[in-house]
Amino acid sequence: MKRVAAECHAVISRTQGTEPEQIPVSGRADSAVELRKRIQSLIGDDLTRVNQILKKQFQNPHPYITDVLQHAGCLRGKQIRPVLLLLCRKSISGHIEDSVVTLAAVVEMIHTATLVHDDVLDNALSRRHIPTVNHHWNTETSVLLGDYLFSRAFRLAASTGDASACELIGRATDLTCAGELHQIAAREHRSESERDYFRIIRGKTGQLFGLSCLLGARTATASRHLQRQIHIAGIEAGMAFQIADDVLDLTGEETQTGKDSGNDLVNQRLTLPVLRALQTATSTERDELRDLLNRNGVCKPGTQFTGHRNSASGHPAMQRGISSAKKTARHLVSSCIRRLAQLPDSENRRLLESIVHFSVRRQN
């Protein structure tokens, strides 16, 4: 894992002060609607099987638990992790076995568990335009629900009989939770270290993306070298996805994102656009920006950051920070797509590239 982290860091370290490399043409700029159509065409039946498993897992004999589970199921959204797993598998081997579909459901369940816990940590009110579990019910329910989903996910993974896959899933989940703990430590120490930031997002988001891609390649019996490259590609895609999320937290409208805007500022998290803004700001700008970031009128739930001069995102230094963060996300995408190019050329691979490309252009 240290080698994986080093390769990701090497890509990031080349981004400051440079223009992003040209993303290969095969990573075409589809709209969200076009991507959904392509996904449905290539793996729609497989995703239906994944969702059939999830539907069964999100049920319980007790009505209250079923009610909470089904509410959590509505928070899942894009299903990008099972999509990545299935497409990586189909890019190498066309057949999708039942055990592969089960593993795709497992990674989605783990992701849902992390969302439920994240909403508790963030004291978030909404996700996907609906109330979070903790807002609709309470914190106790959210914590126990997240634990329940983790437990069900690992039990489901064990049902495949693939001990190595279970070990990989456990390791990735460990690192995901460690990423969240690193984030708490960074907040407590008011860390302005980019190394800390990238370690956090490599864990909290990169690991499940990487796991999804790795499981897809591994179940297709890809070579060890290709498995490693696809694993790193997934981590890079996840990190780019998270940077885009952090930018949207500052610039996105809640009506588009479906989440509370400014949540990172509310929870005193210094994300990449903020770190880059502080790095590039003049002394006067830095004082102004810190005042904006710490002012209660700016940092309260529900505040919209829409580019006004008196908001954090409208500050000149923050605009530069946002631009720099987007550049880094595009570099990660370029590196990811170069690694994916080692997969056999096919519609499945080209769809993978398009999904990764879209991840830094999305508005939600």
What residues in the chain have per-residue pLDDT under 50?
Answer: 17-27, 296-310
Q: What pLDDT digit, counting tens, does each position of 230-259 carry?
A: 999 999 999 999 999 999 988 877 655 555
Q: What is the pLDDT of residue 362?
A: 81
Q: Which domains does the chain have, with CATH numbers?
A: 2-10+30-359 (1.10.600.10)
**Amino acid found at 216:** G
Residues 45, 51, 52, 54, Cα dihedral to 10°:
160
Element of type H or E holding 130: strand 130-131
Full-model pTM: 0.88
Q: What pLDDT digit, counting tens, does each position of 305-343 carry?
A: 333 434 677 889 999 999 999 999 999 999 999 999 999
Distances (CA, A) of 84 to 39, 78, 152, 211: 10, 11, 21, 10
Q: What is the pLDDT of residue 361?
A: 86
Q: What is the pLDDT of residue 296?
A: 39
DSSP string, 328-350: HHHHHHHHHHHHHTTSPPSHHHH
Distance CA 206, CA 239 (A): 5
Alpha helices in the chain (DSSP H): 2-13, 32-57, 63-73, 80-92, 98-122, 133-136, 139-158, 163-188, 194-201, 207-219, 224-251, 254-257, 263-266, 272-280, 283-294, 316-340, 347-359
Q: What is the pLDDT of residue 335?
A: 97
Structure token pair of residue 56: 């069964």
